[in-house]
Chains A and B, each alone.
Chain A
């Protein structure tokens, strides 16, 4: 065993920007290709619309962007975006914290996890969006029912990941730390949580787009604001350009949210390696 040899592979362990060596193109070149692809698709759409397919059904990019421009110029879109973002984030926060707590509790308690297991599976199998009418009854037509829908979608995903993460903790590590006279709280803080952080975070990553879905669907069912309402309204008025415009905004929102959580992830990774 040579120390120099071992330290040699240290660099490969440290996080470095993902650079696939097999790929011949760099990140900026790929960005260029992606832009190009988008432009080609838009041109084909524009070309096909009104010629190959009825404009009524597919609208066309120019109309869609005109609609976006109008909404942005008169500012009407912003209150809808703000409402959707607010419901998504609030629902996500509530659902994620409840999911983590539930996951920790059941992950650490054999009795309750066995007791609740069939019920949780049954609840999880329910299409959560089918709860929307119930939530409207319980929480009213306001923001609360949408937040509840976003939260319930988040909760199950985060719960299942947290639970798995805690079940995945190495029993031997726990025994080792138990022998050091660790209390249950110390086991949780020093072994269980750090070891399940990656699982929990994966849960967050999957859950956030679902929180957005929950918010939008909630708005579609009963609301007078939000992007879900707007897409519903545009559809009801046979305004295809409006529908596409809202879809475009929702897409952008999803990309931004995903970007945010990626940033938080790399932050956390960094912190975990440096401060633990």
Chain B
């Protein structure tokens, strides 16, 4: 059964009275346990897509289904890590990370223990008492990641989650995401600009066209798990997939320039 079903959805915004079509007639089906990477030019409605799956936006036409049910309100089964870190500025790292459990009514000692464990896994131990304003952009992203993971959502929506990180940290976070996914078997949909990252992590790569966004190309990534996030990119199979997708992307960008 598919976990997320987008059936010919379109989304039109009004921007200063002008209608702007962000997504047009887009269909996508994501199975349980899949890891789907969405890649494509800027402003192609990738974030809009995630906003619709999380139920924050409603599509103008078409249906968004989650586990076979139409999404009509905020979808609380998903964990959503937006491009902006959206941390509460008056809470320190520990209290930001433990917020989802606080809302569920988990006792303080227990939720703080769980939060500290995840803070350690994203490599921020020692920063528990710091406020978001005292952290760098990359650190704030990791706080957001830890916060999202703490709630143990069955589906993860990630909007350019690792963009602000340096290369080494990026690899560590890739490893973390894959190992958490292996532990809990979540369904993952993430947006990225980095093709290597897309292939390294995903079971399927989807190319989004420029605005109005629609799906141009989609391809399964059948690299075996568990993957070595550093070395998988040097395999022959990876190279093949990379070249194939890059060729498609190149066309998309070429059209973009015309």
B141 to A: closest C-beta gap in Å: 11
- Assess A186 versus B134: contact at CB under 8 Å? Given A180-B151, A276-B91: no
Residues of chain A from 172 to 200 with CB closer than 8 A to chain B in the complex: 172-173, 175-182, 186, 190-191, 194-195
Contacts of A273 in B (CB 8 A): 90, 131
Chain B, residues 112-143, CB within 8 Å of chain A (1/0): the string is 00000000000000000011011111110000
Instruction: Please indicate which of the listed interface residues A176, A194, A272 has the most CB atoms of chain B within 10 Å of its own CB.
Output: A176
- Which residues of chain B come closer than 8 Å to A176, judged between CB atoms? 80, 82, 86
Task: Find chain B residues with CB under 8 A from A9 CB.
Answer: 134
A272/B90 in contact, CB under 8 A:
yes
Smallest Cβ distance from B158 to chain A, in angstroms?
A: 13
Q: From B11-19, B99-107, B186-194, B195-203, give the one contacting chain A.
A: B99-107
> Please, how many angstroms separate the alpha-carbon atoms of A170 and B104 in the complex?
22
Q: CB distance A195 to B90 under 8 Å? A: yes
**B residues 65-91 touching A (CB-CB < 8 Å):** 74-76, 78-80, 82, 84, 86, 88, 90-91
Within 8 A of B (CB), among A62-77: none
Among B80, B90, B134, the residue within 8 A (CB) of A6 is B134
A3 proximity list for chain B (CB < 8 A): 139
Contacts of B100 in A (CB 8 A): 180
- Residues of chain A contacted by B230 (CB below 8 angstroms): none
Whether the pair A179, B80 counts as a contact (CB closer than 8 A) is: yes
In the complex, chain A residues whose CB is within 8 Å of the CB of B75: 179
Interfacial chain A residues near B102, Cβ < 8 Å: 190
A194 and B134 form a contact (CB under 8 A): no
Q: Which of A187-233 contact B (CB under 8 A)?
A: 190-191, 194-195
The answer to whether B88 and A194 touch across the interface, beta carbons within 8 angstroms, is: yes
**A7 on the interface (CB 8 Å rule)?**
yes
The closest CB in chain A to the CB of B96 belongs to A276
Q: Do residues A181 and B76 form an inter-chain contact, with CB atoms below 8 A? A: yes
Contact residue among A1, A7, A10, A191 (Cβ-Cβ distance under 8 Å from B88): A191
Q: Chain A residues near B247 (CB, 8 Å)?
A: none
The CA of A10 and the CA of B54, in the complex, are separated in Å by 35
CB atoms of A181 and B103 under 8 A apart: yes
Least CB separation from B83: chain A residue:
A172
Q: Is the CB of A6 within 8 A of B54?
A: no
Question: Are B104 and A181 within 8 A (Cβ)?
Answer: yes
Query: CA separation between A172 and B144, bound complex, in Å?
Result: 13
Q: Quick check: is B180 within 8 A (CB to CB) of the other chain?
A: no
Chain B residues near A190: list those with CB within 8 A: 88, 99, 102-103
Q: Is A123 an interface residue (CB 8 A)?
A: no
**A side interface size, CB within 8 A:** 26
The distance from the CB of B153 to the nearest CB of chain A, in whole angstroms, is 9
Are B90's CB and A180's CB within 8 A? no
A13 within 8 A of B: yes
CA distance A179 to B27 in the complex (A): 24
CB nearest to A173 among chain B residues: B86
Q: Shortest distance in angstroms between A251's beta carbon and chain B's nearest beta carbon? A: 36
Chain B nearest CB from A175 CB (Å) reads: 5
Q: Which residue of B lies closest to A12 (CB)?
A: B134
Within 8 A of B (CB), among A220-276: 272-273, 276
Say how far A32's CB is from chain B's closest CB, in angstroms.
Answer: 37
A179 touches B74 (CB 8 A): yes
Flag if B103 contacts A175 (CB, 8 Å).
Answer: no
B254 to chain A, nearest CB (A): 34
Using CB atoms, name the residue of chain B closest to A181. B76
Contacts of B74 in A (CB 8 A): 175, 178-179
- In chain A between 34 and 93, which residues have their CB closer than 8 angstroms to a CB of chain B? none
- Which residues of A sit under 8 angstroms from B160, Cβ to Cβ? none
Q: Name the one of B79, B90, B135, B138 contacting A194, with C-beta atoms under 8 angstroms.
A: B90
Q: How far is the CB of B212 from chain A (nearest CB, A)?
A: 23
Least CB distance from A199 to B in Å reads 13
A10 to B139 CA separation, bound complex (whole angstroms): 14
User: Which residues on A sit within 8 Å (CB–CB) of B138?
Assistant: 1
The 7 closest A-B pairs by CB, nearest first: A176-B86, A181-B76, A180-B100, A1-B136, A276-B90, A6-B136, A180-B103
Q: A178-B74, A276-B95 are in contact. List 10 more A-B contacts (CB 8 A).
A: A1-B138, A1-B166, A13-B131, A13-B133, A172-B82, A172-B86, A176-B86, A181-B76, A182-B103, A190-B102
> Could you list some 15 contacts between A and B, CB below 8 A?
A1-B136, A1-B139, A1-B166, A6-B139, A13-B134, A170-B86, A172-B86, A173-B88, A178-B74, A181-B103, A186-B103, A190-B99, A190-B102, A272-B90, A276-B92
